[in-house]
Amino acid sequence: MRIIVDADGCPVKEIIQDIAKKTGLDVLFVMNIAHEYSPEYGSVKFVDKSRERADIVIVNVIESGDLVVTQDYGLAAMVLAKKGHCMNQNGKVFNDMNIELLLHRRHLNREIRNRHKKYTKTNKRTKDDDLNFKESLIRMLKEVL
């Protein structure tokens, strides 16, 4: 098992590194070439800036049992189809029981935004968000290891 991170804009890369190092798991950060990142632990796969390129790379390298951290529901669905585990940067675990609803909700929200040109703002990340992610990641790793 390894941890693969959809790392463009991922706010918990350091938390993932720390936990991966403590557990001895390999970690792969996938991000586009517009970013500069040199993790203390793990490796980085840089991809071009084309849309969905990081997702395609992740789907191609994931193996059954790997854990992917992403906030992209579409990527999460593909990870689950390949028998991987998946969670977002807030610690929400994606699984076969909730992914269809999340994809449907994403579609409806996109239609509403396109029709009404309304965009929601995301709340600023807090230390509690980081703590929730860390606890959820540790719990997930205990369950699957």
Structural domain count, the chain: 1
87: left (phi over 0), alpha (psi -120 to 50) or beta: beta
Instruction: Give me the residue label for tokens 């929601």.
Output: 120
Residue 89, token pair as written in the block: 């940067």
Tens-level pLDDT at each residue, the chain (145 residues): 999 999 998 999 999 999 999 999 999 999 999 888 999 999 999 999 888 899 999 999 999 999 999 988 889 999 999 999 999 999 999 998 877 777 667 666 677 667 776 666 667 899 999 999 999 999 999 998 8
b/e sequence 37-61, b meaning 16+ C-beta within 10 Å:
eebeebebebbeeeeebbbebbbee
User: How many residues belong to the chain?
Assistant: 145
Nearest to 70 by CA among 9, 138, 27: 9
Could you list the residue range(s) of the whole structural domain that residue 42 is in?
2-144
Edge-to-edge strand ranges of the sheet holding 26-32: 43-47, 26-32, 2-6, 67-69, 85-87, 93-94
